[in-house]
Structure 1
């Protein structure tokens, strides 16, 4: 698709970037918790690396916002981090342990978040001319997002197979 020139309302851009930074904040917290919880499984290392990539992208968004003179809402990020913690309290049919489906559901939710983030990169690529930014940078981030989705799909397949095999948790060998 050919790039086209658009004017971007700074107020709306600030809200949009604040929302994506908040989403990244929640996803980073969830990914880090998962990396710790599944450290001794095939999921732990890759999820830890994924969390590091997300943190780098979050920093990039903060730097981008600053370079554009946009002051992002920190309350949205605080709310997202709190929401991630509250989300851990959801009923799962067990009082003291994780459900066998926890890892699978969490990986599917992270995949949905990466899909949303790819939309962000696509929007920023589209607006790059108006914002004085390099379009190729966002196209590369979109490709990285696609690779992240592929990783999350592979990890979800591992979790799905373990659940189907009757393992009570992905941490069982």
Structure 2
């Protein structure tokens, strides 16, 4: 196993873990709304993608680096402490930034699946993994959140 691939996979697992935690938190913060429903679907899909990614790592014999994943969860939790325009409550900026970060993560995940398929040559090594499906699934997640990201951005940044 290429050491760079092993490191890359653990870095990407850490990022996926952070996005999963952000999606879960954002779902709770928006519970009972249309955006909360969309976030719930995406949070479930992200958790499934992280599980798929772990299975890929196991298939390749790549051990998880618990320090990296733990640091990612800690980083996501520390990110909650940033100022959002409100002292103790959730703000329009919070919603927008969470949706913005999640869509960036989903775009990165689409790129990740393509990288593993094409650049790392895993399509041949792991014929049971449908990378095209994973890419399409990420696009569906992105499409699910995009209208809410746009509305949240308009509300937060344009004062709508």
- Work out whether the TM-score is over 0.5: yes
Measured at CA, do residues 149 and 129 of structure 1 come closer, stay the same or move farther in structure 2, by a change above 3 Å?
closer
Q: For the Cα contact (< 8 Å) 1:125–1:135, is it kept in 2?
A: no
Mapped to 2, the partners of 1:122 and 1:82 lie a distance apart of: 28
Mapped to 1, the partners of 2:85 and 2:151 lie a distance apart of: 22
What is the TM-score with the length of structure 1 in the denominator? 0.83
- Between the two proteins, the alignment pairs up a number of residues equal to 157
- Greater mean deviation of Cα atoms: 119-128 or 81-90: 119-128
For residue 144 of structure 1, the aligned residue among 126, 130, 137 is 137
Give every structure 1 segment of 4 or more consecutive aligned residues whose post-TM-superposition deviation is greater than 6 Å.
none
What is the TM-score with the length of structure 2 in the denominator? 0.89
Measured at CA, do residues 61 and 146 of structure 1 come closer, stay the same or move farther in structure 2, by a change above 3 Å?
same
Q: Which 5+ residue runs of structure 1 have no aligned equivalent?
A: 1-8, 167-173
Q: For the Cα contact (< 8 Å) 1:34–1:44, is it kept in 2?
A: yes
Q: Output aligned runs, 1:145-160, within 5 Å.
A: 145-160=138-153
Q: For the Cα contact (< 8 Å) 2:31–2:37, is it kept in 1?
A: yes
Mapped to 2, the partners of 1:118 and 1:45 lie a distance apart of: 22
Mapped to 1, the partners of 2:153 and 2:106 lie a distance apart of: 20
Q: For the Cα contact (< 8 Å) 2:109–2:138, is it kept in 1?
A: yes
Q: CA deviation at 1:98?
A: 2.1
1:69 and 2:78 are equivalent in the alignment: no
Measured at CA, do residues 86 and 136 of structure 1 come closer, stay the same or move farther in structure 2, by a change above 3 Å?
closer
Higher helix share: 2
1:11 and 2:3 are equivalent in the alignment: yes
Rg comparison, structure with higher value: 1
Q: CA deviation at 1:13?
A: 1.3
